[in-house]
Amino acid sequence: MTFVASDSGANEVIVAGKLQDKVVLVTGAGGGIGRATAIVLAREGAKVMVSDVSTRRGEETAALVREAHGEAEFRKADVSRAADVEALIAAAVGKWGRLDGAHNNAGISGRFAFTAEDTEENWDQTLAVDLKGVWLCMKYEILQMMKQGGGSIVNTSSTAGLLAAPRMGAYAAAKHGVIGITQTAAIEYATRNIRINAICPGVIGTPPILEWMKNEKLKASLMSQEPIGRPGRPEEIGNAVAWILSDAASFVTGASIPVDGGMTAW
């Protein structure tokens, strides 16, 4: 808690956010869930390292964070490349001296195809970004967090990591894999003060989903999966990530938490 002088000369109390002065990395932050999460984390007091494969979109997110009175830096990175990820973590540490938290969110949906009609290229690309990318991020984040005495990591899985995802076999495999490596790493580093969890979004109103929702048949199909009756908002995922990264969730590790409007409770 801090005090600042108002225009009237009186002191006003400003309550610190859940992540006050924490250094947090968000990958895949050029839009959708990643962008919304970066803004939420900044509003909770974090210094945010914004990363994306698109410089334009990543810089836009960093600017939006600053507009929300947060502190942000952008670094381009392809999470499927070890050198990019290692440099990304080094950039965050070089800028702010440490890395307290990370939201490993970068991912692609891949090609829609039945299992027997899918391509090797789609599998290689989807798993490289959605699974190998999460592992590489965890690898270098954990190495840094062990040096400094701890930290918290949230990996983006999906309800497709908990349920079947027809015509999205590669995506489902990657997202199931994210849960597996999350649980494994959580156990491996539990005594090192490093908490590692996964979040499993349902149907979220990101630009691709909103585009699909223009098709009434597809909209009806998507909404039939959501007991709550609407798509989630990207900032609702950001709010959940902020809580998991914060000390309020200090006894939570190895969890795969659905934020899905009740989809997985059917």
Q: Is 171 a catalytic residue?
A: yes
* Long-range pairs of 61-67 with CB within 8 A, sequence gap ≥ 24: 61/29, 61/30, 61/31, 61/34, 61/35, 62/38, 64/35, 64/38, 64/39, 65/38, 65/39
The secondary structure of 105-125, three-state, reads CCCCCCCCECHHHCCHHHHHH
Q: Which of 96, 140, 171, 189 is catalytic?
A: 171
Contact between residue 77 and residue 27 where contact means Cβ atoms under 8 Å apart: yes
Among residues 177, 35, 32, 197, which one has the least CA distance to residue 101? Answer: 197
What does the alpha-carbon distance between residue 32 and residue 122 come to, in Å, rounded to a whole number?
22
Among residues 133, 103, 134, which one has the least CA distance to residue 23? Answer: 103
What amino acid positions are annotated as catalytic residues?
A: 171
